[in-house]
């Protein structure tokens, strides 16, 4: 019986481990191996090239563009989403009539899959039948090719990404703002603090653990889940304007069948996420106020 | 007694199961065509009770190809796969297929002369036919005769040269007070396939080494005189606002623009002629079809076939291989090809099917179905119209489409666009060749 008790936790973990090993560790190991080869599409020719795939990527201007776009995309969408959702969270904790209905409606984008979100936004921005496009034309008077012209494709993608990520952040912020002790706010009001000061000197620092968590979650979303939205809305276009690193992996692996290069790119993505997470936890955590 | 009968029944059923051959047919034809293929499989099984055909629809041509690659790599290959025409070099290099020529040579009952020559010319490399043609198409020009009349143009004489085309588009384009386009002349799916067709119409190659047919291509030669004329023509249309570009390869967006009568002319595949005719009837406009245009002073060429063909995958047992061959022969039988042509618009690939359609009076009633066929049969047979053979076609197409998009957005000149396209395509070809 004693032996059973000691072994029991490990036995219970075996199914999970099996799944993780088969679906995550083995493919990851294969990806690392594949990044050292150049292979034909059907795998019948494999030439060992060492780190040549990585060298070629570092010299490839198309890859540099993808990296730069990824960075710009992440920074703008995460910053906008965090501030927008914090603001919405503040409004929705104000005990106004109808907040419950608003919360439900505003949560809807999270329930929709990224591919559907992309399809919805493509439809809304369609130059022929899109409602949002029509509103834009009525207000500003210029017809814009939302998904096929240079700055507007990025804006369209930004709208869709922010729209998709905001509800998730908002729910966390609502919960967190509600847990800010009200006597702190009362004391601040008595001391003559303005609303702005109260928000950014009391509430925002006190919800910083949530902000910390949400920023890293949002970065992960824009790095990886944005693939569906990009594929549906712009296909990485116009040209390669909205191709980020994950979309480039897809293109190289499944459209151009350059398996070695795609595997190298996914290895680079892995290390990027490792580095980002380490730096983030080391430096950003210092600015978090835990209660 | 009942028990004995039941046991006997089980024995026969088992025997039937054991001796029945199961083959898998993977295709990329969606929509109503999914059901169409299920019915075709049932008709085949009725004729061959000892063969079971499992039909699987896998999405687009690319998805179908990726699934096949995964299946081959994992050791469970399908039997018959539909692969798009530009995957020809990739499939040959992959070493995983049985060339159809071998199966044809071993079957004395099969007459290889029944196929239409331009179509077998595409799929024959080094004198060997590798895959069986099945759904072949070419690109044609669809135009809205009603809109032509409204713009004061003759609905029965569509533009045949680039120069006339620009004039027609000018007449069709209507802009409002702010300069926004209300109605435009021309739209197309921004697909490199049309560029390849326009090159072939001028009898010009896409890659060197006889368009890839004399040997592995080492260079992309799109920046020849013919290619430059095409790019400059597109640039003129874009600058004047006479065309609307879609996202890359967005067939449905282009079709929607044409069907909603926002554009007067559409380049599309003949495989959609049936649905275009239905739509024209529904929305009350008259449809016209004609060949693709070319510059007035360019040499005459022809059309390259598009679409896909059927490949037989190696590594399956002998009886499955034979069953696959029977299935593929059935799909190419006269009645099947006639039905497929009427249902879609893809060409019938056999001469007997063409004769059957002609003599039954089908083309008198449906002249638009014949346009693409005529464009193909009136082509000058040459290596340029046989179609380019290259292993990195998907990447080359994206490069060409990107350069066209940048040019039409006014970012680069046509000369720069086409030279950069040729350069980047050549780099991609060299990288592919380094593996072999």
Q: What is the 3-state secondary structure (H, E, C) of chain B?
A: CHHHHHHHHHHHHHHHHHHCEEEEEEECCCCHHHHHHHHHHHHHHHHCCCEEEEEEECCCHHHHHHHHHHHHHCCCCCCEEEEEHHHHHHHHHHCCEECHHHHHHCCCCCCHHHECHHHHHHHEECCEECCEEEEEECEEEEEEHHHHHHCCCCCCCCCCEHHHHHHHHHHHCEECCCCCEEEEEEEECCCHHHHHHHHHHCCCCCEHHHHCCCCCCCCECCCCHHHHHHHHHHHHHHHHCCEEECCCCCHHHHHHHHHCCCEEEEEEEHHHHHHHHHHHHHHCCCEEEECCCECCCCCCCCCCCEEEEEEEECCCCHHHHHHHHHHHHHHCCHHHHHHHHHHCCCECCEHHHHHHHHHCCHHHHCHHHHHHHHHHHCCCCCHHHHCCCCCCHHHHHHHHHHHHHHHHCCCCCHHHHHHHHHHHHHHHHHHHHCCC
Model pLDDT, residue A46: 83
B395:A150 CB<8 A = no
Prediction pTM value: 0.84
Looking at the fold, whether B127 and B187 belong to one and the same domain comes out as: no
Least-confidence region, from A125-134, A250-259, B173-182: B173-182
pLDDT digits (tens, 9 = 90+) for B289-346: 999 998 988 888 888 988 899 999 988 888 899 999 999 999 998 999 999 988 888 8
Query: Residue A72's pLDDT band (boundaries 50, 70, 90)?
Result: very high
Q: Report cis status (omega within 30 of 0) of the bond before B64.
A: no
Looking at the fold, whether B181 and B270 belong to one and the same domain comes out as: yes
Interface contact A119, partner B, CB < 8 A:
no
- Short-list B335, B337, B331, B342, CA closest to B80: B331
φ and ψ at B427, to 5 degrees? -60, -40
A38:B434 CB<8 A = yes
**Which domain covers residue B92, as residue numbers?**
10-137+305-377
- Short-list A221, A210, A216, A244, CA closest to A109: A221
Interface contact B406, partner A, CB < 8 A:
yes
User: For chain A, what percent of residues have pLDDT higher than 90?
Assistant: 38
How close, in Å, is residue A73 to chain B by CA atoms? 20
* Measured distance CA(A113)–CA(A108) in Å, rounded: 10
Picking from B178, B246, B394, the nearest residue to A255 by CB comes out as B394
Model pLDDT, residue A230: 92
Model pLDDT, residue B183: 86
Looking at the fold, whether B253 and B155 belong to one and the same domain comes out as: yes
Looking at the fold, whether B206 and B272 belong to one and the same domain comes out as: yes
Picking from B94, B181, B249, the nearest residue to A40 by CB comes out as B94
* Best B174, B181, B398, B427 residue to mutate vs chain A (most A CBs within 10 Å): B398
* Measured distance CA(A208)–CA(B378) in Å, rounded: 73
Looking at the fold, whether B260 and B201 belong to one and the same domain comes out as: yes
Degrees to nearest 5, angle at CA B229 with B223 and B234: 105
Looking at the fold, whether B321 and B293 belong to one and the same domain comes out as: no
Q: B90 contacts in A (CB within 8 Å)?
A: 41-42, 257
A45:B435 CB<8 A = yes
Pairing mode of beta strands B263-269, B181-188: parallel
Model pLDDT, residue B93: 87
Q: A243 contacts in B (CB within 8 Å)?
A: none
In a domain, residue B70? The reply is yes
A40:B435 CB<8 A = yes
In a domain, residue B420? The reply is yes
pLDDT digits (tens, 9 = 90+) for B89-101: 888 888 889 999 9
- Short-list A65, A107, A73, A67, CA closest to A218: A73
For chain B, positions 84-113, list CB contacts with chain A under 8 A. 90, 93-96
Q: B436 contacts in A (CB within 8 Å)?
A: 40, 45
Residue of B nearest to A261 (CA): B431
In a domain, residue B5? The reply is no
Do B85 and B305 touch, CB atoms closer than 8 A? yes
* Structural domains in chain B (count): 2
* Measured distance CA(A90)–CA(A200) in Å, rounded: 11
* Best A152, A256, A263 residue to mutate vs chain B (most B CBs within 10 Å): A256
CA torsion through residues A86, A167, A280, A176, sign? positive
Interface contact B247, partner A, CB < 8 A:
yes
Q: How far is CA A153 from the centre of its chain?
A: 18
Looking at the fold, whether B373 and B250 belong to one and the same domain comes out as: no
In a domain, residue B2? The reply is no
Paired tokens of A29: 């190991």
Interface contact B66, partner A, CB < 8 A:
yes
Looking at the fold, whether B27 and B168 belong to one and the same domain comes out as: no
B409:A43 CB<8 A = no
Model pLDDT, residue B248: 82
For chain A, positions 152-211, list CB contacts with chain B under 8 A. none
Looking at the fold, whether B153 and B131 belong to one and the same domain comes out as: no
B395:A255 CB<8 A = yes
Looking at the fold, whether B111 and B210 belong to one and the same domain comes out as: no
Interface contact B183, partner A, CB < 8 A:
no
Give B279's Cβ-side CA count (13 Å radius). Answer: 17
CA torsion through residues B401, B405, B408, B412, sign? negative
- Short-list A235, A130, A155, CA closest to B256: A130
Looking at the fold, whether B155 and B262 belong to one and the same domain comes out as: yes
In a domain, residue B3? The reply is no
Looking at the fold, whether B279 and B321 belong to one and the same domain comes out as: no
Helices (H), chain A: 2-20, 26-34, 52-59, 61-92, 99-111, 114-124, 131-140, 150-178, 182-190, 195-197, 204-206, 208-220, 226-233, 245-250, 259-283
Picking from A38, A44, A150, the nearest residue to B95 by CB comes out as A44
Residue A113 DSSP class: -
Residue A47's H or E segment, with its range, is strand A46-48
Residue of A nearest to B393 (CA): A256
* Measured distance CA(A147)–CA(A217) in Å, rounded: 27
A42:B96 CB<8 A = yes
Q: How many CB pairs under 8 A join A and B?
A: 83
Degrees to nearest 5, angle at CA A166 with A165 and A169: 95
* Best B78, B247, B401, B403 residue to mutate vs chain A (most A CBs within 10 Å): B247
Topology of domain A54-287 in CATH is MetI-like fold (1.10.3720)
| Category of A109 on φ-ψ map: left (φ > 0), alpha (ψ -120 to 50) or beta | alpha
Averaged pLDDT for residues A44-48: 82
| Category of B25 on φ-ψ map: left (φ > 0), alpha (ψ -120 to 50) or beta | beta
Residue of A nearest to B247 (CA): A148
Model pLDDT, residue B416: 93
Q: B248 contacts in A (CB within 8 Å)?
A: 235, 237
Residue of A nearest to B427 (CA): A60
Model pLDDT, residue A151: 86
Q: Taking 80 as the threshold, does the pLDDT of residue A84 lie above it?
A: yes
Q: Please, which residues have CB within 8 angstroms of residue B174's CB and are 6 or more apart in sequence?
A: B181, B182, B183
Picking from B96, B247, B392, the nearest residue to A256 by CB comes out as B392
Interface contact B245, partner A, CB < 8 A:
yes
CATH number at residue B292: 3.40.190.10
Interface contact B167, partner A, CB < 8 A:
no
- Short-list B42, B96, B71, B100, CA closest to B325: B100
- Short-list B194, B96, B131, B431, CA closest to A257: B431
B402:A240 CB<8 A = yes
Picking from B248, B260, B394, the nearest residue to A256 by CB comes out as B394
* Measured distance CA(A142)–CA(A132) in Å, rounded: 13
Model pLDDT, residue B12: 62
Label residue B286 exposed, middle or buried (CB < 10 Å: 0-12, 13-18, 19+). middle
ipTM of this complex: 0.79
A42:B69 CB<8 A = yes
pLDDT in tens, chain B (436 residues): 677 777 776 766 666 556 688 999 999 988 888 999 999 999 999 999 899 999 999 988 888 988 998 898 888 899 999 999 888 888 888 888 999 999 888 888 888 888 888 888 889 888 889 999 898 888 999 999 999 998 888 888 899 999 999 999 999 888 877 777 788 889 999 899 999 999 999 999 999 998 988 888 999 999 999 999 999 999 999 998 888 888 788 888 899 889 988 899 999 998 888 889 999 989 889 999 999 998 988 888 888 988 899 999 988 888 899 999 999 999 998 999 999 988 888 888 899 998 998 898 888 888 888 888 888 888 888 888 888 988 888 889 989 998 998 898 888 999 999 999 999 999 999 988 888 8
Domain extent listing, chain A:
54-287
């Amino acid at each position: 019986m004693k032996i059973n008790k000691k072994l029991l936790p490990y036995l219970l973990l075996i199914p999970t481990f099996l799944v993780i090993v088969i679906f995550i560790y083995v493919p990851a190991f294969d990806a690392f191996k594949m990044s050292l080869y150049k292979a034909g599409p059907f795998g019948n020719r494999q030439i060992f090239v060492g780190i040549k795939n990585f060298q070629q990527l570092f010299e490839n201007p198309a890859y540099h563009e993808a990296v730069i776009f990824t960075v710009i995309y992440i920074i703008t969408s995460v910053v906008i989403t965090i501030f927008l959702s914090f603001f919405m969270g503040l409004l929705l904790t104000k005990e106004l009539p109808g907040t419950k209905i608003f919360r439900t409606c505003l949560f809807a984008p999270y329930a929709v899959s990224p591919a559907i979100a992309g399809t919805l936004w493509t439809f809304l921005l369609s130059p022929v039948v899109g409602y949002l496009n029509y509103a834009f034309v009525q207000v500003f008077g210029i017809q814009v090719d939302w998904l096929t012209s240079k700055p507007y494709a990025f804006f369209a993608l930004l709208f869709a990404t922010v729209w998709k990520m905001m509800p998730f952040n908002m729910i966390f912020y609502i919960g967190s703002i509600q847990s800010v002790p009200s006597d702190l706010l009362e004391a601040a009001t008595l001391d003559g603090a303005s609303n702005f000061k109260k928000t950014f000197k009391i509430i925002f620092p006190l919800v910083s653990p949530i902000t910390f968590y949400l920023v890293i979650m949002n970065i992960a979303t824009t790095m990886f889940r944005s693939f569906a939205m990009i594929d549906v809305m712009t296909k990485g276009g116009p040209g390669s304007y909205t191709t980020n690193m994950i979309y480039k992996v897809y293109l190289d692996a499944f459209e151009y069948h350059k398996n070695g290069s795609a595997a190298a790119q996914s290895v680079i993505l892995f290390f990027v996420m490792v580095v980002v997470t380490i730096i983030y936890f080391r430096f950003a955590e210092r600015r978090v106020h835990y209660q | 007694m009942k028990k004995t009968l039941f046991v006997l029944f089980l024995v026969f059923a088992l025997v039937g199961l054991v001796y029945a051959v199961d083959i898998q047919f993977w295709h990329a034809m969606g929509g109503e065509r999914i059901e169409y293929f299920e019915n075709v499989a049932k008709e085949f099984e009725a004729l061959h009770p000892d063969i079971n055909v499992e039909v699987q629809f896998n999405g687009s041509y690319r998805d179908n190809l990726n699934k096949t690659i995964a299946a081959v790599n994992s050791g469970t290959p399908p039997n018959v796969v539909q692969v798009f025409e530009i995957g020809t070099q990739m499939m040959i290099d992959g070493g995983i297929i049985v060339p159809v020529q071998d199966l044809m040579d071993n079957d004395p009952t099969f007459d290889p002369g029944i196929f239409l020559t331009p179509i077998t010319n595409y799929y024959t490399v080094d004198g060997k036919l590798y895959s069986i043609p099945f759904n072949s198409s070419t690109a044609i020009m669809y135009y809205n005769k009603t809109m032509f009349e409204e713009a004061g143009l003759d609905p029965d004489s569509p533009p045949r040269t680039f120069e006339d085309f620009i004039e027609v588009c000018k007449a069709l384009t209507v802009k409002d007070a702010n300069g926004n386009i209300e109605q435009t002349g021309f739209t197309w799916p921004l697909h490199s396939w049309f560029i390849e067709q326009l090159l072939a119409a001028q009898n010009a190659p896409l890659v060197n080494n006889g368009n890839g047919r004399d040997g592995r291509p080492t260079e992309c030669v799109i920046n020849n005189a013919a290619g430059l004329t095409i790019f400059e023509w597109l640039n003129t249309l874009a600058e004047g606002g006479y065309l609307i570009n879609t996202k890359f390869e967005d067939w449905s967006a282009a079709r929607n623009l044409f069907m909603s009568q926002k554009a007067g002319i559409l380049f599309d595949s003949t495989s959609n002629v049936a649905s275009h005719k239905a739509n024209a009837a529904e929305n009350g406009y008259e449809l016209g079809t004609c060949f693709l245009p070319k510059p007035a002073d360019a040499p005459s060429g022809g059309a390259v076939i598009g679409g896909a063909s059927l490949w037989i995958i190696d590594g399956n047992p002998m009886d499955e291989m034979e069953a696959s061959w029977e299935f593929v022969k059935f799909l190419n039988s006269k009645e099947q090809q006639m039905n497929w042509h009427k249902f879609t618009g893809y060409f019938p690939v056999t001469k007997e099917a063409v004769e059957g359609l002609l003599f039954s009076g089908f083309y008198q009633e449906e002249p638009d179905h014949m346009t693409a066929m005529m464009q193909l049969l009136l082509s000058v047979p040459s290596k340029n119209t046989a179609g380019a053979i290259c292993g990195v076609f998907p990447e080359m197409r994206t490069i060409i489409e990107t350069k066209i998009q940048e040019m039409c957005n006014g970012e680069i000149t046509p000369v720069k666009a086409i030279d950069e396209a040729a350069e980047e395509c050549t780099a991609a070809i060299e990288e592919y060749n380094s593996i072999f």
